[in-house]
């Protein structure tokens, strides 16, 4: 004869198989999203570092150009100024373009334009860095 016990096991508190599966799936989905965000942040950080490097190199080159004498401010003379070798390695497909425009009025001046271009990892052109400086002839400033 049987006692009053039922054939079913008593319920124990805790995770069952379905709850455990759902928890593992949620954890996996969270990890995938986290890893993608970390990868995206790393790519963006490298892009910002490349842009900062381009701005710094462009400002250094423009400073060297501005320090030249008036007669040395020609496109041919400025073409001798090149990007640093480390910058060329850091910026894929880096290119440098100089522009010099002569202005007569109100005083003799030259507008020097420097543009640094490079490509991203996918080969797409990044937004260039452009810097401009105005140089006035010293005799006209007196």
Whether residue 132 is predicted with pLDDT greater than 80 in this model: the reply is yes
Whether residue 35 is predicted with pLDDT greater than 90 in this model: the reply is yes
Mean pLDDT of 21-46: 95
Q: Domain limits of the chain?
A: 17-141
Whether residue 10 is predicted with pLDDT greater than 70 in this model: the reply is no
Mean pLDDT of 84-103: 91
The answer for residues whose C-beta is within 8 angstroms of residue 130's C-beta and 6 or more apart is 113, 114, 115
What percentage of the chain has pLDDT greater than the value 90?
56
The answer for residues whose C-beta is within 8 angstroms of residue 50's C-beta and 6 or more apart is 90, 91, 118, 126
Give CA–CA dist 90/46, Å, rounded: 10
């Amino acid at each position: 004869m049987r006692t009053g016990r039922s054939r079913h096991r008593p319920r124990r508190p805790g995770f069952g198989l379905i709850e455990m599966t759902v928890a593992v799936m949620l954890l996996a989905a969270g990890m995938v999203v986290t890893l993608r965000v970390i990868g995206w942040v790393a790519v963006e950080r490298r892009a910002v570092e490349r842009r900062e490097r381009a701005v710094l190199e462009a400002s250094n080159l423009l400073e060297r150009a501005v320090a030249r004498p008036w007669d040395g401010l020609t496109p041919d003379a400025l073409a001798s100024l090149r990007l640093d070798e480390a910058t060329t390695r850091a910026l894929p497909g880096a290119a440098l373009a100089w522009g010099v425009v002569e202005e007569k009025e109100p005083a003799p001046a030259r507008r020097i334009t420097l543009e640094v271009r490079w490509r991203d990892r996918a080969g797409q052109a990044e937004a260039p860095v452009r810097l401009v400086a105005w140089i006035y002839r010293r005799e006209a400033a007196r």
